[in-house]
Structure 1
Amino acid sequence: MNTQRYFIELSYNGTDYHGWQVQPNAITVQECLDKALSTYFRQPIITLGCGRTDAGVHATQFYAHFDIHQEGEVKPSTIGRSVTSINSLLPYQISVKRIFEVENSAHARFDATERAYNYHIHFHKDPFKLDRSWLYKGELDVEAMNKAAAILLMHTDFSCFSKSNTQTFTNNCKITEAHFQITEQSLLFTIRADRFLRNMVRAIVGTLVRVGKNEIDLEQFKKIIESKNRSNAGQSVPACGLYLVSVIYPFVK
């Protein structure tokens, strides 16, 4: 049976979901998306995402791929115009932006060449940032945190920031951008790399916060990276402040 592969671009508020990937006893973004696509195209659809986001993590840009049997009742020529109908089948927290045809060999996870995350921190109680940013009660030395963030670009092995017992062949990543930006009554961390390990960004931010609190200095931060030991790094910050904001492919405009 002939099939055609498609990429789907979406965004979601992850507050009410136990991450992206399907789980047996918890509702996930992938489960909701697969159900909506299967209903619309009237054939079983299983998506494969560009990565995993943990429970409570958000995405302003996320890609997945799926295959359509050409013998299905929906013609391939109509798929690009199906966004409105599919959105009507999805919960309000999940929004499809576009669907487009790709080569059958295209892969949402392995073909991505770059990903970027933002982490949001605010310092004063704000009901409109509930579950969308981390409320930090205290002061932080942002200049020191940015100096420590720059050290990340000098390393490639980030085992110290990775969740243990993961099924990865390597803990090497190439970070090309990492810095904090002060905005109105808040702090925005941006990090960009070719790939990320599980829990990596939240562990990095948690360790950088220790620098900002003057609990560790720049030399100690460097030694934590070199130790390759997760127990030496800081605690992971809450998931609510983390957003996947960009995924780059060589064949996607």
Structure 2
Amino acid sequence: MGDYNRYFLELSYNGTSFHGWQIQPNAVTVQELLDKALSTLLRQKTETVGCGRTDAGVHATQFFAHFDVQRDYDKPQAGVVEPAFLNSLNALLPFEIAVRRAFKVGQEAHARFDASLRSYQYHIHFVKDPFRHGFSWHMRDQLNVARMNEAARILFEYTDFSCFSKSHTQVFTNNCKIFRAEWEETSRGLVFHISADRFLRNMVRAIVGTLTMVGKGTISPRDLHSIITSKNRSNAGTSVPACGLYLTEVRYPYV
């Protein structure tokens, strides 16, 4: 064990202005700004590890990251979890990023690898609305929600979702266990809810693109079987705009 304390942060962010969560060269990201704010506040170089990575323009209503603080930091036990710490940290962050809470965890706790479930929502609206621009996909086509839900239920029959994964990603497996996949009609449009133990890069946006093809009548629900078993990304629908996608829940055994 090293001589440090590990803390989790729970945060949310409007992803419109960022090139995703993960630090990238020549692009502003959520992780970059969070690391800078923590380093300034803690007066030592601080690097976070996120629960995953979101693409450019994707939002998060719940996101977790962990960071370590050396024990020679002045009052680490109290300074990191007191309300004053959160107030100071949020003051150093742009209004698009808000840290909700910070709490100490064990040294082996990991924001990415320990997550047991992740949930996303994808929002679609059909009437021009300036207050939804950048936060929902404005569609002009009418969609058959019953058929889309019929197709969504087929996802439960499979675990290999290579057909919905961005090409050339460095992962050991394309297997995921989906626990929920359904469309909800609301007064403002549609919301697609999906939960799984893990997700592949671009997976949710590709699934939504495929299911909206079903909703428009371009393909039938049963076509999902051949698309998934093909393991070929080109057979699935296009990736829908990032603005409608939200990471909404990350679950841990100890949180």
- Asked if Structure 1 and Structure 2 have the same fold, meaning a TM-score greater than 0.5 normalized by the shorter chain, the answer is yes
What is the letter of the counterpart of residue 251 of structure 1? Y
Instruction: List runs of 5+ in structure 1 lacking aligned partners.
Output: none
C-alpha distance in 2, partners of 1:247/1:49?
Answer: 11
Map of 2:143 onto structure 1: 140
Q: What's the counterpart of residue 164 of structure 1?
A: 167
Deviation at 1:78? 2.0
Q: How do residues 62-211 of structure 1 correspond to structure 2 at under 5 angstroms?
A: 62-81=63-82, 82-211=85-214
Deviation sequence 1:195-230 (CA, Å, 0-9, x none):
000000000000000000101012212110111100
- After superposition, what is the alpha-carbon deviation per residue over 1:154-210, rounded to whole angstroms, capped at 9, x for unaligned? 110000000010010000000010000000130000000000000000000000000
Question: 2: CA distance between counterparts of 1:67 and 1:249?
Answer: 19
After superposition, the C-alpha distances for 1:3-31 in whole angstroms (9 at most, x for unaligned) are 11110000000000000000110000000
Task: Give the CA RMSD over aligned residues.
Answer: 0.8
Runs of 4+ in 1 over 3 A off after TM superposition: none
Residue type matched to 1:22 in 2? I
1:44 paired with 2:45, answer yes
What's the CA shift string for 1:115-166, capped at 9, x where partnerless? Answer: 0000000001000001000000110000000000000011100000000100
Structure 2 spans left out of the alignment, 5+ residues: none
1: CA distance, partners of 2:59 / 2:67: 21
Please report how far the alpha carbon of residue 74 of structure 1 lies from its aligned counterpart in structure 2 after TM superposition. Answer: 4.5
Aligned residues with identical type, % of pairs: 61
Matched AA of 2:50: G
Q: Which residue of 1 aligns with 2:55?
A: 54
The question of whether the paired residues in 2 share the 8 Å contact of 1:42 and 1:73 is answered with: no
| AA in 1 matched with 2:52 | G
SS in 2 for 1:18: coil
Q: What is the TM-score of this pair, normalised by structure 1?
A: 0.98
Paired amino acid for 2:15: G
Contact 1:50 1:63 (8 Å CA) reproduced: yes
2:248 match: secondary structure: strand
Shift of 1:73: 3.0
1:223 aligns with 2:242: no
